[in-house]
Structure 1
Amino acid sequence: MIFAKELGDTLRGALTDDPRVVLLGEDIADPYGGAFKVTRGLSTAFPQRVRTTPISEGAIAGVSAGLALAGYRPIAEVMFGDFLTLMFDQVVNHIAKYQAMYAGQATCPVVVRAATGGHRGYGPTHSQSLEKHFLGVPHLRVVAASLFHDPREVFSDFLGRDEPVLYVEHKLLYPQHLTLPVNGRIGDLLATSEGGPLPTVRLSAVPVEDCTVSVLAYGYQAMLAAKVIERLAMEEEIFAELLVPAQIAPMDWAPVERSVAVTGRLVTVEEGADGWSWGTEAASVISRRLFGRLRRPVDVVASEATVIPSSKTKEASILVGSAQIEAAIRAAAR
């Protein structure tokens, strides 16, 4: 089950099941089918409801808002998440506000899909993870794609609510295989889920009672972290529990709190730039709730706060990868 194909099949199912669903985005029509080929074949099957737009993220946001207010369920693709900045005003000041401003009499359930992240040498303006700028926006949900969450269940949740949502999809997830829990396991790791349709997935080689570190990560970084904790467990008996939320804002902190209450240590991992981030919010919340039970300060792992270079070698030194995750887990486990 390749993630990009599963996501495309999910969108096809949404278009089939609900005539209100429309897809908008740059170059999403056939034969191109989108920059990452997620929408390939959909404009042929649904020519009136899968529409290529001009190269204007502001126009995509405005048309999507209008369609949503008129009763449609627009799903807007942003080819590169860097250009969410061109949608920011309409998302924050309009799309996210309508339902509260009009006491529920108007709803604007826009789903914005954005391809984010680096590690592909795309350079300063096509490699960023900018979702932290949308965290904490009232009435806007931010959800991160992962290999541990079924996109069908994710989009069923999106289309079953009247709330707007930003869905961030790291580019390096597209060619990966989904690894959903089977019989309580993912590979050699124990797997449990908490929290309804958009759960937090918990992964560990041993029960949490035997773990010494809790690790909190989402998206592509969660995939890297899972490989790290599996290797450390098998090769060195360093045991960590990984928590992978789907919805990163507003956050359900209960699973994280339960894990850290046992381990006494937390490492957060994200690819976005260091500072004023998801990880710092996690550190604030968990430090406040479990201050007396923490054995060391929360360790926030994030990318260097600078421009992302095109050189893959230099890019790798700036963006968070497996080496930084492993080093943080080792330091916390001491």
Structure 2
Amino acid sequence: MRVAENLNAALHELMAAERNLYLLGEDVADPYGGAFKITRGLSTRFPGRVMSTPISESAITGVAAGLALSGDAAIVEIMFGDFATLAFDQLLNFAAKSVSMYGSRVPMRMVVRCPVGGGRGYGPTHSQSLQKHFVGIPGLALYEMSPFHDNLAVLTEMLAREEPCVLFEDKVLYTRPMHAVPEPFSLAVENGVARAFLDERPDCVVVAPGGSAPMVLAAMRSLLLEEEIVCTLVVPSRLYPFDVELPDARRVFVVEESTAGGTWGAEVAHQIHQRHWGRLAGPVTLVHSADSVIPTAAHLEESVLVSERTVHRVIMETLRG
């Protein structure tokens, strides 16, 4: 099963299980089924609860927050995650605050799905990874789709938090198979954290969100075969609040597709420094895309986005430097 199929099946199962769950977004109804076909079949199966909306991310998110505030549950599809900036006020000043600002905790069961990331030639305004702009908002939890986490379990956990959640979905993952790691690595998933590893005493640990995991795995394989460097990859389903115990290693890297500056990776590094500074050989190394808008031309886009080659080079230079 490919990641997109797993996500679509998860939405079908959730909608069947919860009669008060609504899904809103632009062009999500059949026959279109969403820009990436993730909502295919839902409006046919659940008429009245899957609604194609006008082009207003603020309005869509506000309606979803209103449904959550009144006791229902809602899932929003933002067609491209770049446009979640238009819903930022609703998330920051309405949805997230509504959990606690009325004197007692109010369940706010809502999920905002955001397709993100480059590698598709969509250009500067349809290719960004904006996760860092949502980190640190009280009452707002952040998750990222990965090929290693079953989407039904992830979405169920998000709704069970009873607070607004954002699910970032890297677009290049939609066509990838679930639970696939290259030889000779093994995969283990426990408590929402996936681990791709060769042995229990790696030369370094790499922490990455789901969208960056395939490139890190490719870099890990080349590092093993060409440099005899053994890495372990850690992929948390929940990005924030971040709470992950790392395997024992003296070098840690965080890879993400966003640009540098106030990032999720910086938050992860801060927590790792607090918990594990005594065992580290040096500070956590952050690996990002270039400080640039994302071009449309394939060769220019490739020069800007973090890549397998970037990860390979940074890890090798850091460990051998």
- TM-score, normalised to structure 2's length? 0.95
Over the matched positions of the two proteins, sequence identity in percent amounts to: 43
User: Using the alignment, how far apart are the partners of 1:294 and 1:200 within structure 2?
Assistant: 21
Aligned partner of 2:189 in structure 1 is 193
Aligned partner of 1:42 in structure 2 is 42
**DSSP-derived class of the 2:100 partner:** helix
Which range moves more in the overlay, 100-109 or 319-328? 100-109
Amino acid of the residue matched to residue 11 of structure 1? L
Say whether residues 1:320 and 2:306 are aligned partners: yes
User: Out of 195, 220, 243, which is 1:202 matched to?
Assistant: 195
Q: For structure 1, which runs of at least 5 residues remain unmatched after alignment?
A: none
Aligned partner of 1:214 in structure 2 is 205
The 5-angstrom pairing of residues 82-231 of structure 1 reads: 82-179=82-179, 187-194=183-190, 196=191, 199-207=192-200, 209=201, 211-231=202-222
Q: For structure 2, which runs of at least 5 residues remain unmatched after alignment?
A: none
Amino acid of the residue matched to residue 206 of structure 1? D
User: Using the alignment, how far apart are the partners of 2:105 and 2:315 within structure 1?
Assistant: 48
Aligned partner of 1:292 in structure 2 is 278
User: Using the alignment, how far apart are the partners of 2:318 and 2:150 within structure 1?
Assistant: 31
- TM-score, normalised to structure 1's length? 0.92
Distance change (3 Å), C-alpha of 1:320 and 1:109: same
Aligned partner of 2:317 in structure 1 is 331
Residue 158 (structure 1) shift: 1.9
Distance change (3 Å), C-alpha of 1:87 and 1:308: same
Superposed CA RMSD: 1.6
| Contact 2:144–2:211 (CA under 8 A) maintained in structure 1 | no
Aligned partner of 1:232 in structure 2 is 223
User: Using the alignment, how far apart are the partners of 1:288 and 1:161 within structure 2?
Assistant: 26
Aligned partner of 2:234 in structure 1 is 243
Amino acid of the residue matched to residue 190 of structure 1? S
Which range moves more in the overlay, 46-55 or 295-304? 295-304
Residue 105 (structure 1) shift: 4.6
Amino acid of the residue matched to residue 147 of structure 1? P
User: Using the alignment, how far apart are the partners of 1:35 and 1:115 within structure 2?
Assistant: 10
Residue 289 (structure 1) shift: 2.9
User: Using the alignment, how far apart are the partners of 2:236 and 2:182 within structure 1?
Assistant: 16
User: Using the alignment, how far apart are the partners of 2:288 and 2:105 within structure 1?
Assistant: 40
User: Using the alignment, how far apart are the partners of 1:159 and 1:280 within structure 2?
Assistant: 27
**DSSP-derived class of the 2:239 partner:** strand
| Contact 1:75–1:112 (CA under 8 A) maintained in structure 2 | yes
| Contact 1:308–1:318 (CA under 8 A) maintained in structure 2 | yes
| Contact 2:110–2:159 (CA under 8 A) maintained in structure 1 | no
**DSSP-derived class of the 1:191 partner:** strand
The 5-angstrom pairing of residues 5-84 of structure 1 reads: 5-84=5-84
Distance change (3 Å), C-alpha of 1:26 and 1:331: same
Residue 186 (structure 1) shift: 7.2
User: Using the alignment, how far apart are the partners of 2:132 and 2:85 within structure 1?
Assistant: 12
Give deviations 1:145-183, integer Å, cap 9, x for gaps.
000111011112123231110000000011111116xxx
**DSSP-derived class of the 1:13 partner:** helix
Residue 71 (structure 1) shift: 1.4
User: Using the alignment, how far apart are the partners of 2:37 and 2:318 within structure 1?
Assistant: 40
Residue 109 (structure 1) shift: 1.5
User: Using the alignment, how far apart are the partners of 1:25 and 1:102 within structure 2?
Assistant: 28
Q: How many equivalent residue pairs?
A: 320
Which range moves more in the overlay, 284-293 or 315-324? 284-293
User: Using the alignment, how far apart are the partners of 1:29 and 1:230 within structure 2?
Assistant: 41
| Contact 1:179–1:186 (CA under 8 A) maintained in structure 2 | no
Residue 188 (structure 1) shift: 2.7
Amino acid of the residue matched to residue 233 of structure 1? L
**DSSP-derived class of the 1:320 partner:** coil
User: Using the alignment, how far apart are the partners of 2:22 and 2:39 within structure 1?
Assistant: 12
| Contact 2:23–2:75 (CA under 8 A) maintained in structure 1 | yes
Which range moves more in the overlay, 217-226 or 168-177? 217-226
Residue 287 (structure 1) shift: 2.4
